[in-house]
Every structure is written in structure tokens, then in C-alpha cells.
Amino acid sequence: MILDLFKLDGKVALVTGAGRGLGQAMAIALAEAGADVAGLGSSSLDETATQVKALGRKFLPLKVDLLQVHAKDVTKLVEQVVTGLGSLDILVNNAGIVRRAPVMEFTEEDWDDVMQVNLKSAFLLSQAAGREMVKHGKGKIINIASMLSFQGGIRVVSYAAAKSGLAGITRLMANELAPKGLNVNAIAPGYMATDNTAALRTDPDRAPAILERIPAGRWGKPADLMGAVVFLASSASDYMNGSIIPVDGGWLTR
């Protein structure tokens, strides 16, 4: 049956930024599909843990600040997941921050912080998880890209650079790891109602301009990513390699 291909029974997923917003929704979606979940975040993971456990799945909390991690730390994180939950089959690189300022005023600190969390940590986690997955000849790596993987945006130069870089890493890792049995793909959310867009959604000029361009006529919700992440994490996407799937209410079509 086709629906059986979407089941994640017996799988283990690591989701970064799992404490709230998009990461929380995707962690819950993977648990609903049958996976046990390791949730990584710098803030409380209690709410996500409660919802995952209510589904009868295991939850491993990993309290980590990705601003501070290096390669050796990421290797230990992967080891913790394998030890705590038995394997690592799915990685969702969702954690991200944004800093806003005109390009000519953008600070070095705001550049470095966003690149560290949004790009470097995602690469290091993919590298460490990939090494574990290659041992078993299979695995799913899902990067959370952005509309700014395709466009320039304004006032978020480090975010645009990081998300464009994440799209490039997705394609490169797909080229190298598909022959080893791994699938590396990405989801590019549109304008989503999360903490990262709070300033935009209250901006009297930009908020209506953004909404006017979205054919669906609304901002996205975290739940809008649940289907896409389960698809890319499941056997239903076994012939997907290096794809970047927009979930944007039609933003890119305008």
C-alpha cells in the first residue's frame, strides 16, 4: 500500500530547533509517522517532549546552543543519539536565527552568529550524521532552506547568504552521498508565522506587501511543513536527491 511508504516505524530522527515553531511541528510530525525523536534546542524542550511522548514515541532532549558548537561537539551529539535511541536515520537541520540591518550597517558579529547557527552547524551535523548513516547504507538528511535560497531579500544579508549556502550544501552532499544510499534534500518555507518573522508581521508597510504577494492569501503555519518533512524522511522519497521543495503558499510563482 502506498501509505506504508510514509511510515517511519523503527526510525530515529534528530531535529534541531525542536523546542518551538517549525522544528516543534516537524518533530511531532515525524513522531506521528512512527519515529522516535531526539530534539535539539537552546531553550526548553519540555512541550515538544510531552507531545512526542503522548504519541507513544521516545524523546531524547539535547540542550545545546549551536552558537557554541564545534566539530568535536557535534560528533558527540550524534553518539548521544545513537546510544540513547539506538540509531540515527533522519536528520532535520532546522535551527536558525536572523539578524536584521541595512547591508551597509551590518555588523561582523551579526554575520558570524547567523553563519555559525544557520550554515556551519548544519554542515557539521550533516557530516557527523552522514558518517553514521553511511555505515548502514541509508539515511535521510533534510535541510530547512528558505525563499532566500532563491532570492536576495533585504536587510538580512547573513541570513540570505547562509540559506543560499545551505541550498548549495544540499546539492553537493546529494551528489556525494546518493551513491552511498543517503538522500539529501531541503524544504524552503515561505513566510511563516514564527518568532523569526514577528517583526515583519507587525511592520505596517512590509506585512501587507508580503501578504499581497502570497497567492494562498495567508502566512504559513508550522503545521504546513508536516507533510513535506514526513515525505522527505520516508521511503516515499527514495528517488529524491538534491531537491529543494518550496512550501510557500505560491510566493515563488508571483
The pLDDT of residue 199: 84
> One of 39, 89, 122, 159 is an active-site residue; which one?
159
* Residue 55 within a domain: yes
Q: Specify if 216 maps to a domain.
A: no
Burial of 59 (0-12, 13-18, 19+ CB in 10 A): buried
- The yes-or-no answer on residue 239 being catalytic is no
- For residue 65, the enclosing domain spans 2-193+223-246
Residue 249: DSSP 8-state: T
Does pTM surpass 0.75?
A: yes
- The answer as to whether 111 is a domain residue is yes
Examine residue 199 and state whether it is found in any structural domain, yes or no. Answer: no
Residue 213 inside a domain? The answer is no
* Domains held by the chain: number: 1
Over the stretch 158-173, which tens digit does the pLDDT of each residue have? Answer: 999 999 999 999 999 9
For the segment 193-239, what is each residue's pLDDT rounded down to a tens digit? 998 888 889 999 899 999 999 999 999 999 999 999 999 999 999 99
Q: Quick one: pLDDT at residue 173? A: 98
- The answer to whether the beta carbons of residues 220 and 249 sit under 8 Å apart is yes
Residue 63: Cβ within 10 Å count:
12
Residue ranges of the chain with per-residue pLDDT less than 70: none
Q: What is the CATH number of the domain that holds 238?
A: 3.40.50.720
Is residue 58 assigned to a domain?
yes
